[in-house]
């Protein structure tokens, strides 16, 4: 990994043997989970914060976030000596607030879902004269995210066969589309993944109009914007864009598979505590066979495209080419996941 301009790093592009075997095409993982703040968000948010700092007029920044945009804002603001206030909804896991405070940010928890927190961020911007860093709806954010495609161009052997992205408000998707256009790759099929209950783009795509969801009912809270940004909706009308939805359980199973049969590892650790070390070692070796990376459910939605058979189904339906030259999975990451949070989600989603 080398340092680029800005706060993000050039992330590894890994070939996944396990995933390639599952879908019969080469799968490349763009490991945005390796960014300093744990997700791709630092690309666009870092770029926007730099712009704000360069204008030298800002008294500070405010960002409403499900977690990761806030992490990126807090990180970039600390580096730029800008005061940062992050507004989270109560649905964001508690571990995030502490991480934000560790970055020196002021944290407020307002409302139940991201849209509530966003209303408070806009109010604060007005009353305290702060600059809004939007988590997904800003051209500077999309420009920053588009760097992913430039890196793909530098490291892929040829044009990707298809790209998979998770969609919350649609900022990552917009950045990828912008980058593809710049690269002359505008015809590459893009698969947009969301979870049931956080599926604002899918609903808009089907209705052929922007739609506001009545509520966010998915545990993938980082995908939980009630309305997609207009630019994402406009891009979704292109013929190479496919929108698909998976359940929270499918996203969770994908997270577990990506890590490598986590439950079994926990069982093994319990055994280890009872001094049955051999069984423990066996289990760890047996089950740590996939990618060994822990990501959020928001990212699990993308991974489920492979693990839940969405790619094969789309190929059978003639909506994706068969054979596919390659598949690029944007492993968007997510910092609001640890082993305790994973166990919590396992209990809530499998109840």
Give the integer Cα–Cα distance in Å for 336 and 333. 9
Does the footprint of ligand PLV cover residue 169 (CB under 6 A)?
Answer: yes
Rule CB under 6 A: say whether 39 interacts with ligand PLV.
yes
Q: Does 114 bind ligand PLV (CB under 6 A)?
A: yes
- Tokens at 179, concatenated: 């980058």
Neighbours of 56 (CB within 10 A): 6
Under the binding rule (CB under 6 A), the answer on residue 42 touching ligand PLV is: no
Q: Which residues pair with 108 in a beta bridge?
A: 87
The answer to whether the beta carbons of residues 306 and 28 sit under 8 Å apart is: no
**Cβ 211 to ligand PLV shortest distance, Å:** 16
Check: CB of residue 304 under 8 Å from CB of residue 311: no
324 binds ligand PLV (CB under 6 A): no
User: Is the CB of residue 25 less than 8 Å from the CB of residue 325?
Assistant: yes
Which of 49, 61, 84, 167 lies at the binding interface for ligand PLV (CB under 6 A)? 167
Which span (21-29, 123-131, 275-283, 292-300) binds ligand PLV, by CB under 6 A?
Answer: 292-300
Among residues 44, 51, 73, 258, the alpha carbon closest in space to that of 148 is found at 44
Q: Which of 147, 138, 157, 140 is nearest to 179 (CA)?
A: 147
Write down the least CB distance from residue 348 to ligand PLV, Å. Answer: 18
**Taking CB under 6 A as the rule, does residue 46 contact ligand PLV?**
no
Among positions 50-79, residues that touch ligand PLV (CB under 6 A) are: 65-69
Pull the structure tokens for residue 154. 């530098």
Does position 296 bind ligand PLV by CB under 6 A? Answer: yes
Piece of 2-10, 76-84, 160-168, 313-321 that binds ligand PLV (CB under 6 A) = 160-168
- Least distance (Å) between residue 67 CB and ligand PLV: 5
- Other C-beta atoms lying within 10 Å of the C-beta of residue 259: 21
Region binding ligand PLV by CB under 6 A among candidate stretches 3-11, 217-225, 234-242, 318-326 = 217-225
Q: What is the largest CA-CA distance in the chain?
A: 62
Regarding 146 and contact with ligand PLV (CB under 6 A), the answer is no
Per DSSP bridges, beta strands 27-31 and 13-16 are antiparallel
Q: Which is nearer to ligand PLV, 26 or 258 (CB)?
A: 258
Helical (H) or strand (E) element with 281: helix 277-287
**Strand residue runs (E) in the chain:** 13-16, 27-31, 61-64, 84-88, 106-109, 131-132, 162-166, 190-195, 241-246, 327-331
Tell me whether residue 175 or residue 260 sits nearer to ligand PLV (CB atom): 175
Nearest CB to ligand PLV, comparing residues 11 and 65: 65
Judged by CB under 6 A, does residue 161 bind ligand PLV? no
* CA separation for the pair 20, 305 (Å, rounded): 12
Q: Does 224 bind ligand PLV (CB under 6 A)?
A: yes
Which listed residue (120, 261, 333, 342) binds ligand PLV by CB under 6 A? 333
* Whether the Cβ atoms of residue 91 and residue 296 lie closer than 8 Å to each other: no
DSSP 33-85: GGSTTSBTHHHHHHHHHHHHHHHT--S-EEEE-SSHHHHHHHHHHHHTT--EE
Count residues near ligand PLV (CB under 6 A).
Answer: 28
> For ligand PLV, what does the binding mask look like between residues 252 and 291, x meaning CB under 6 A?
----------------------------------------
170 lies in the site for ligand PLV, by CB under 6 A: yes
Please report how close the Cβ of residue 178 comes to ligand PLV at its closest, in angstroms: 12
Q: Does residue 93 bind ligand PLV (CB under 6 A)?
A: no
The minimum distance between CB 267 and ligand PLV, in angstroms, equals: 28
**Chain residues in the site for ligand PLV (CB under 6 A):** 39, 41, 65-69, 114, 135-136, 166-173, 222-225, 296, 298-299, 332-334
């Amino acid at each position: 990994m080398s340092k680029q301009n800005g706060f993000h790093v050039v992330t590894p592009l890994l070939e996944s043997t396990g995933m390639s075997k599952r879908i019969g095409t080469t799968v490349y993982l763009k490991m945005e989970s390796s960014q300093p703040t744990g997700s791709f968000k630092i690309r666009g948010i870092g770029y926007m914060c730099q712009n704000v700092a360069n204008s030298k007029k800002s008294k500070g920044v405010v960002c409403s976030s499900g977690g990761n945009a806030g992490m990126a804002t807090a990180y970039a603001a600390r580096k730029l000596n800008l005061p940062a206030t992050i507004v989270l909804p109560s649905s964001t896991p508690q571990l995030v607030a502490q991480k934000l405070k560790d970055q020196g940010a002021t944290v407020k928890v307002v409302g139940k879902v991201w849209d509530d927190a966003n209303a408070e961020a806009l109010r604060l911007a007005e009353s305290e004269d702060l600059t809004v860093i939007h988590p997904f709806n800003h051209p500077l954010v999309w420009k920053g995210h588009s760097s992913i495609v430039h890196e793909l161009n530098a490291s892929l052997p040829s044009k990707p066969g298809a790209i998979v992205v998770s969609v919350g408000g649609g900022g990552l998707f917009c950045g990828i589309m912008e980058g593809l256009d710049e690269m002359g790759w505008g015809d590459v099929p893009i698969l947009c993944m969301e979870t049931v209950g956080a599926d604002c783009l899918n609903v808009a795509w089907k209705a052929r109009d922007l739609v506001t969801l009545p509520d966010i009912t998915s545990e993938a809270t980082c995908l939980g914007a009630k309305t997609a940004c207009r630019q994402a909706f406009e891009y979704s009308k292109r013929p190479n864009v496919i929108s698909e939805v998976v359940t929270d359980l499918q996203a969770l199973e994908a997270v577990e598979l990506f890590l490598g049969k986590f439950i079994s590892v926990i069982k093994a650790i319990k055994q280890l505590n009872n001094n049955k070390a051999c069984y423990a070692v066996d289990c760890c070796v047996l089950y740590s066979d996939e990618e060994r990376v822990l990501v959020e459910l928001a990212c699990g939605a993308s991974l489920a495209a492979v693990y839940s058979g969405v790619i094969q189904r789309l190929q059978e339906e003639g909506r994706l080419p068969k054979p596919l030259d390659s598949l690029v999975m944007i492993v968007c990451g997510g910092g609001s996941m640890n082993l305790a949070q994973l166990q919590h989600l396992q209990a809530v989603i499998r109840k």
